[in-house]
């Protein structure tokens, strides 16, 4: 660099002025942080500057998209064929289940009409794509490409084809931010698909793990069990898979069990997600899950597990018929 | 005159690229190791020229980064202001350090920045960052020589071109 400039910055000149200025800026930053923490100014600032910000996100996400496109373009043909076959199988299975579900749903609707309640089965959803940018130091929040102008509202539930991903926490005019279920700030009311045991699943910050604390030591629960949303609280509709239990351990107090859960949704990979339109909220708590009474094998099973559970239940009915 | 303009462009483009790199996602495994790009670019320019970077400018860049990042408004503004203050204060020594010593200084700056970030997050009640992220300052220091040489190269070329044109 040019030598003359060196004279203008000897080692200890302007020290006091610089320090004073630093202190002023530190104070300003501290004030901003406190105000933002209290009033959520950042959200408003982001809303008004969104016209400039969202294109920046798109640019930042572009390389990741290119990498994804390139990996698709150069993927092995055999891998693609395999994937295609697998998807076809899954689709067929899903359709078969859906057909069976259709009948049940129809019947359910009729019964509910008879009971004169709101019907909750009609599910309005909106397709959205992830904009692949990193918000904050951890990846517990994702950005979607639809926003307030597409009538997305804060609190809507985000799901993918495997389960619940999270919920919308912030909307911009043409983008929105969703908090994933693994965010440490997130909690979701769940129940065990097998027997209706209720709990609350908290995020841990680890993208592969949720934790359901405070389960009674005596509860009927084992690794491999599936948690589904319980619908309590009215935010998440009931019956969507949340995750499977990988490990059970004693909580820090030793009085309760703690279940470590692997999220059902593909949080790392989902490119397209569904936004559920707000459901017609049931007023008051929904009907309690069938926890007491006859053994769980005889009890009516929950909605999500019906197609799977119905299968093992059927064979025992036939052998006695065949035997005589 | 031309040279000043060219340098100005280089500076702003560098800042914009650093902000984009900050937003860009990496594979989940190495995500916490991502170096803090805006800091590296600001350190380079505060060593390179006296009048380009000031604490106020670092503050504004930090505000823009906060706005983009969706974190607490003022968080990065504070951290970058502190960082540029230290870099400017020791500028005349840092500039004539050999590269490895400069890298070490950058490591300390980034580490200080990380400690500040942890404190701010603790005050705001945000969850702690993953343990692996403490390695990010080391990664930043490791790539500092490359960042420095690349920015320096661009800078020298621009200066040469500007001098010829004017």
* Structure tokens given for A199: 């709990």
A103, A307 contact by CB (below 8 A): no
Q: Is the pLDDT of residue A1 over 50?
A: no
Of residues A298 and B77, more confidently modeled = B77
Tell me the pLDDT band of A115, cut-offs 50, 70 and 90: low
A196, A289 contact by CB (below 8 A): yes
Task: With CB atoms and an 8 Å threshold, state whether A25 touches B75.
Answer: no
Q: Which of B22, B24, B45 to mutate to test the interface with A (most CBs of A within 10 A)?
A: B24
SS3 B135: helix
10 Å Cβ neighbour count for B43? 29
Q: Is the pLDDT of residue B17 over 80?
A: yes
| Residues B151-160: tens digit of each pLDDT | 889 888 887 7
A39, B69 contact by CB (below 8 A): no
The rounded Cα A238 to chain-centroid distance in angstroms is 14
Residue A200, pLDDT score: 93
Is A33 touching B (CB cutoff 8 A)? yes
Tell me the pLDDT band of A312, cut-offs 50, 70 and 90: very low
**% pLDDT > 90, chain A:** 11
Segment A279-296 shows an average pLDDT of 58
Residue of B nearest to A53 (CA): B68
pTM reported for the whole predicted model: 0.66
Sequence length of chain A is 324
Is B73 touching A (CB cutoff 8 A)? yes
Segment A115-119 shows an average pLDDT of 47
A164, A157 contact by CB (below 8 A): yes
What values do phi and psi take at A259, rounded to 5?
-105, 125
Q: State how far the Cα of A158 lies from the Cα of A147, in Å rounded to an integer.
A: 13
Residue A305, pLDDT score: 46
**% pLDDT > 90, chain B:** 38
Q: DSSP class of residue A14?
A: T
* Structure tokens given for A318: 């036939």
| Residues A213-244: tens digit of each pLDDT | 989 888 889 999 999 988 888 788 888 889 99
Segment A1-12 shows an average pLDDT of 47
Closest by CA position to A258, among listed A230, A223, A292? A223
**% pLDDT > 70, chain A:** 75
* Structure tokens given for A153: 């509202």
Q: State how far the Cα of A28 lies from the Cα of B112, in Å rounded to an integer.
A: 20
Instruction: Tell me the angle at which helices B136-165 and B2-23 cross, rounded to the nearest 10 degrees.
Output: 150
Q: Is the pLDDT of residue A245 over 90?
A: yes
Residue of A nearest to B133 (CA): A137
Is B116 touching A (CB cutoff 8 A)? no
- Mean pLDDT is highest, among A125-129, A147-151, B81-85, for B81-85
Segment B144-154 shows an average pLDDT of 91
Tell me the pLDDT band of A281, cut-offs 50, 70 and 90: low
Is A186 touching B (CB cutoff 8 A)? no
- Residue among B56, B62, B69 whose CB faces A135 most closely: B69
A153, A187 contact by CB (below 8 A): no
* ipTM at complex level: 0.81
Based on DSSP, count helices (H) and strands (E) in chain B, helices before strands. 7, 0
Residue A310, pLDDT score: 40
Residue A127, pLDDT score: 82
- Tokens 């965010």, located at residue: A183
Of residues A96 and B149, more confidently modeled = B149
What values do phi and psi take at A297, rounded to 5?
-70, -25
CA angle, B24 as apex, B18 and B30 as ends, to 5°? 105
User: What's the Cα-to-Cα distance from A50 to each of A47, A151, A246, B117, rounded to whole Å?
Assistant: 5, 16, 41, 26
Is B71 touching A (CB cutoff 8 A)? yes
* Structure tokens given for B68: 């983009």
């Amino acid at each position: 660099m040019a030598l003359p400039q060196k004279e203008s910055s000897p080692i200890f000149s302007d020290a006091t002025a610089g320090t004073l200025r630093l202190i002023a800026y530190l104070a300003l930053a501290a004030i901003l942080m406190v105000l933002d923490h209290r009033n959520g100014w950042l959200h408003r600032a982001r809303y008004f500057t969104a016209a400039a910000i969202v294109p920046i996100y798109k640019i930042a996400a572009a390389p990741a998209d290119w990498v994804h496109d390139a990996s698709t373009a150069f993927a092995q043909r055999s891998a693609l064929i395999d994937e295609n076959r697998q998807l076809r199988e899954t689709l067929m299975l899903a359709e078969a289940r859906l057909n069976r579900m259709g009948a049940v749903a129809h019947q359910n609707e009729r019964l509910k009409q008879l009971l004169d309640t709101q019907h909750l089965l009609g599910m309005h959803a909106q397709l959205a794509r992830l904009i692949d940018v990193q918000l904050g130091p951890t990846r517990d929040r994702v950005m979607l490409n639809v926003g307030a102008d597409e009538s997305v509202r804060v609190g809507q539930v985000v799901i993918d084809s495997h389960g619940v991903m999270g919920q919308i926490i912030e909307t911009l005019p043409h983008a929105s931010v969703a908090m994933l279920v693994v965010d440490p700030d997130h909690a979701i009311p769940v129940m065990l698909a097998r027997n209706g045991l209720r709990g609350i699943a908290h995020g841990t910050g680890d993208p592969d793990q949720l934790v359901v604390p405070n389960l009674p030591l005596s509860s009927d629960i084992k690794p491999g069990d599936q948690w589904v949303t319980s619908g309590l609280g009215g935010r998440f509709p009931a019956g969507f898979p949340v995750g499977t239990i990988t490990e059970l351990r004693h909580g820090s107090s030793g009085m309760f069990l703690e279940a470590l859960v692997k999220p059902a949704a593909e949080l790392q990979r989902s490119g397209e997600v569904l936004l559920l339109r707000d459901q017609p909220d049931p007023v008051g708590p929904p009907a309690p899950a069938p926890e007491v009474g006859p053994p769980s094998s005889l009890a009516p099973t929950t909605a999500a597990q019906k197609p799977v559970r119905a299968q093992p239940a059927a064979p025992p009915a036939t052998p006695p018929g065949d035997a005589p | 005159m031309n040279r000043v303009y060219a340098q100005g462009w280089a500076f702003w483009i560098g800042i914009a690229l650093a902000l984009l790199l900050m937003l860009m996602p990496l594979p989940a495994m190495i995500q916490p190791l991502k170096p803090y790009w805006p800091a590296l670019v600001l350190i380079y320019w505060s060593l390179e020229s006296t009048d380009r970077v000031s604490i106020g400018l670092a503050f504004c860049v930090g505000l823009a980064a906060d706005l983009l990042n969706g974190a607490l408004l003022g968080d990065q503004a504070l951290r970058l202001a502190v960082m540029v203050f230290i870099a400017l204060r020791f500028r005349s020594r840092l500039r004539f350090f050999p590269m490895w010593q400069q890298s070490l200084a950058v490591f300390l700056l980034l580490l200080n920045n990380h400690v500040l970030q942890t404190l701010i997050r603790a005050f705001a009640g945000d969850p702690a960052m993953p343990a692996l992220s403490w390695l990010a300052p080391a990664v930043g220091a490791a790539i500092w020589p490359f960042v420095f040489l690349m920015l320096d190269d661009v800078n020298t070329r621009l200066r040469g071109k500007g001098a010829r044109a004017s």
